[in-house]
Amino acid sequence: MQRGLASARDAASPATPAAAGGYAPRRGVTARRHRRATSSEQRGPAVIASTPTGPVNVVSIATAVPPTSLPQDEVRDLFAGQPGLGRLGRRLVGTVFDASAIDRRHTVIDELDGEPRDASIFVDAATRTVLRPSTGTRNAVYTRAVRPLLTDAAEQAIADAPGLDRGDVSHVITVSCTGFFAPGPDHLLVRDLGLAPSTRRLHIGFMGCYGAFPALRAAVSTCLAEPDAVVLVVCVELCTLHLRSSDDPDTIVASSVFADGAAAAVVTARPAPAGAAVLEVLALETVLTDEGEADMAWTIGDVGFEMVLSSYVPRILEAGIATALRPLADRLPALGADGWPQVGQFAVHPGGRAILDRVQHALDLSDEQLAPSRAVLRGFGNMSSATVLFILARILHGADAAPAGPELVAAMAFGPGLTVESALLRRVTS
């Protein structure tokens, strides 16, 4: 297998940007995944998140986005028209943006909407030149702008949680990789929501697009240890703060897909009221691959955080995703499913269109199974850690909610490492 993967990459044509889909896998991508699957197979029962009072459930998910909404073609034209961009760079911007499968994105940078401003930080109002503010300046905007999204999503998730209110919240877990400050987002939530000063807090920072999964794992572990716990999980990302103009293909890809948003989930093992729809958490898995450390990375530069997104990532995932998901796949027969085609819906983190295409092909998924993921990519872009919760919100509450009866749901996200995080859920009505 390793030799086959190596020759596939060696035979690949020159790499093209991630959104355009020209990729090849790397040597050794499946070896550690196979060992990880073996150890996970030895772990035992198919349903792991269960307490004496019942399963651990995600009982509500709410989302929030900034008011500034950007049509993708307008953002394309802005970046294609930047001074200093070479002919190839302009062509690349057009190709990558047009292939992104994104209609619009939201941003906290209202300067991007083209309206005149008295003062400019990110875009010169007169020339429409994308400026290069320092990392400190960008982070100062993060500190101010993150608060309303954080609290809006959290308040709505609590309001939507059947039979619960903010007085029931015992734990807060926040996730973000697009800015830093202390006291941090976890502290803001306790203060702004009027939660008890004794509320236990955890902040998960700088893990990238898969950050929601470690947060859910921590929430589930808390509920297993304390069956009466109610855990509020909030992911908030302001990715557009770090956009910049460049001829670099990785930077162009980042400019074409990243967006801002927040999502909150309430997790508890308390029994849900009759008639309430919930997502039972059946299993959570993580796999660190042998390859990919240099292919996907998130670092701090002098003029913002810098994304490394190699054009090989989608094919690395395509070659290894089935093996990476084997720990979950091995649980399916006990749940009445013969394989991934038998799972009702998928929440696949849309790092880009090519990633969704490759995962769909590798797992032999139907268009219907991947419809929620593509809908979120189309309407919101890639909001890093918050994105998979946007997809799960559609499946639990919204347009893609099952009309009746239990439905299996598989969720997954990918990030620096190269890391594959995944979950097996079941949508049920109590």
Exposure pattern of 313-323 as b/e (b: 16+ CB <10 Å)?
A: bbbbbbbbbbb
Active site residue 223: no
The Cα 333–Cα 217 span in angstroms is 23
* Contact in structure between 252 and 95 (CB atoms under 8 Å): no
* Contact in structure between 263 and 63 (CB atoms under 8 Å): yes
The one catalytic residue among 209, 223, 235, 239: 209
Q: Is 187 exposed, middle or buried (0-12, 13-18, 19+ CB in 10 A)?
A: middle
**Catalytic residue positions?**
209
